[in-house]
């Protein structure tokens, strides 16, 4: 792909050229690149599907889950249509590949902002204990809102997408047939902002982070043991309390403030993804919106939004929240900041042997 000259209106999405066909001036044989775009979309569809199956919550009572499923269905439809155009060839096209790519980039480019706004609204309502609707009504609400988001995106693409291919001649004798596709400007800005803000937040506390992460792992293991009544690794209340508080006191550790602890919980999972996307952006790699709007972006954004809502609501509700679960264990990092005794103490306590206790203390 090749960037077009930037327009004076910088608020508009960045426009690129997707090369559909190319040929030499002295040779009438044209190379069709439709199959390359098909395999690119097929790869995105596979990655989104695997991520949805492995990582995403299947409870569609929250807006983010319904949006994730809708993106997969849109990927599937776009891949199928492009495959149909590829197999039919240029002789009997019902729509052109330029038409599909141009409208797909414009449609996907119009999704991020309304999805973020409605997702934040949904999380605020879920965190409110007064809002307690039935699951069926939540599902219906989220489906309707998702359909409205896609409808406005399609309407926007109808008025903004340029489906007329352009022919370019190069001095080398190469000719290309290309069409305009758009890049979402919001996603790179969001990635860069989250990366820099999170990095600058934790940078002054760099020396303390390994200790905090080790303590967060200990809290997570304690929660897993508490939730598994068949485990023989339960330890007594006295020992669980002593290990936590004594470790902090003896080593002069200070608990991180809540905002820092939640930021650390966000970065533990999402820093590799943010680092890769920021590196691509710095390297000048531009990605059309139908590729950049994917489940990784959506889940990263949802994690950030739920973290903000959790931070605000935890002042009154503590770690108890109706927010949907995701990769960032907000409750774990709340207890890392506030304390863990009430969190890890089981009601039924076994009497482990001395050997097991000593082993636990060494760990």
- What pLDDT, on a 0 to 100 scale, did the predictor assign at position 122? 85
Domain that holds residue 288: 190-362
Exposed/middle/buried for residue 116 (C-beta within 10 Å: 0-12, 13-18, 19+): middle
pLDDT digits (tens, 9 = 90+) for 103-160: 999 999 999 999 999 988 888 877 664 445 577 788 888 999 999 999 999 999 998 8
| Same domain as 305, residue 244 | yes
Q: What is the mean pLDDT of residues 299-306?
A: 92
- What pLDDT, on a 0 to 100 scale, did the predictor assign at position 338? 82
> 183, 207, 228 — which closes off a domain?
183
Question: How far is Cα 44 from Cα 294, in angstroms, rounded to an integer?
Answer: 8
Residue 240, pLDDT above cutoff 90: no
Question: How far is Cα 91 from Cα 108, in angstroms, rounded to an integer?
Answer: 29
Query: Which residue is listed with tokens 């200070």?
Result: 254
Most confident of 221-225, 248-252, 284-288, 314-318: 284-288
- What pLDDT, on a 0 to 100 scale, did the predictor assign at position 218? 86
Percent of the chain residues past pLDDT 90, beyond the cut: 33
Contact between 256 and 206 (Cβ < 8 Å): no
73: left (phi over 0), alpha (psi -120 to 50) or beta: alpha
- What pLDDT, on a 0 to 100 scale, did the predictor assign at position 207? 87
| Same domain as 280, residue 177 | no
Contact between 223 and 334 (Cβ < 8 Å): no
> 183, 203, 232 — which closes off a domain?
183
| Same domain as 149, residue 19 | yes
> 133, 150, 183 — which closes off a domain?
183
The whole-model pTM stands at 0.81
| Same domain as 319, residue 263 | yes
| Same domain as 273, residue 135 | no
Strand-pairing partners, residue 176, are 22, 168
Q: What is the mean pLDDT of residues 166-192?
A: 85
| Same domain as 115, residue 165 | yes
| Same domain as 85, residue 152 | yes
- What pLDDT, on a 0 to 100 scale, did the predictor assign at position 190? 92
| Same domain as 254, residue 109 | no
| Same domain as 245, residue 178 | no
pLDDT digits (tens, 9 = 90+) for 185-232: 899 999 999 999 998 998 988 888 888 888 888 888 887 777 665 444
| Same domain as 297, residue 274 | yes
- What pLDDT, on a 0 to 100 scale, did the predictor assign at position 363? 30
pLDDT digits (tens, 9 = 90+) for 27-77: 767 778 888 999 999 999 999 999 998 887 666 778 888 999 999 999 999
Please state the domain count of the chain: 2
């Amino acid at each position: 792909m090749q960037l077009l000259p930037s327009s004076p209106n910088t608020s508009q999405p960045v426009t690129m050229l997707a090369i559909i066909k190319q040929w030499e001036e002295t040779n009438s044989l044209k190379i069709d690149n439709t199959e390359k775009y098909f395999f690119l979309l097929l790869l995105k569809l596979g990655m989104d599907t695997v991520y949805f199956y492995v990582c995403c919550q299947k409870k569609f009572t929250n807006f983010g889950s319904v949006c994730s499923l809708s993106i997969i269905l849109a990927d599937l439809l776009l891949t199928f249509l492009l495959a149909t155009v590829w197999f039919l060839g240029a002789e009997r096209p019902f729509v052109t590949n330029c038409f599909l790519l141009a409208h797909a980039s414009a449609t996907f480019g119009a999704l991020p902002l309304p999805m973020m706004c409605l997702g934040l609204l949904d999380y605020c309502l879920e965190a409110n204990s007064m809002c307690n609707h039935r699951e069926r009504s939540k599902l219906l609400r989220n489906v309707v809102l998702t359909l409205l988001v896609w409808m406005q995106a399609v309407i926007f693409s109808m008025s903004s997408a340029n489906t007329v291919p352009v022919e370019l001649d190069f001095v080398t004798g190469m000719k290309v047939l290309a069409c305009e596709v758009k890049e979402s400007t919001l996603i790179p800005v969001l990635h860069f902002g989250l990366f820099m803000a999170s990095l600058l937040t934790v940078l002054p506390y760099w020396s303390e982070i390994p200790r905090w992460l080790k303590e967060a792992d200990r809290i997570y293991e304690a929660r897993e043991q508490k939730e598994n009544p068949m485990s023989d690794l339960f330890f007594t209340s006295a020992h669980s309390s002593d290990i936590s508080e004594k470790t902090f006191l003896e080593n002069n550790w200070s608990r991180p403030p809540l905002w820092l602890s939640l930021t650390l919980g966000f970065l533990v999972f999402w820093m590799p993804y943010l680092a890769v996307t920021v590196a691509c952006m710095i390297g000048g790699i531009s990605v059309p919106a139908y590729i950049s709007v994917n489940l990784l972006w959506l889940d990263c954004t949802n994690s950030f939004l739920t973290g903000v809502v959790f931070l605000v609501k935890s002042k009154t509700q503590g770690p108890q929240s109706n927010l949907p679960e995701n990769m960032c264990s907000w409750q774990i990092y709340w207890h890392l900041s506030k304390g863990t005794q009430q969190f890890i103490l089981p009601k039924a306590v076994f009497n482990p042997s001395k050997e097991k206790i000593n082993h636990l203390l060494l760990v």
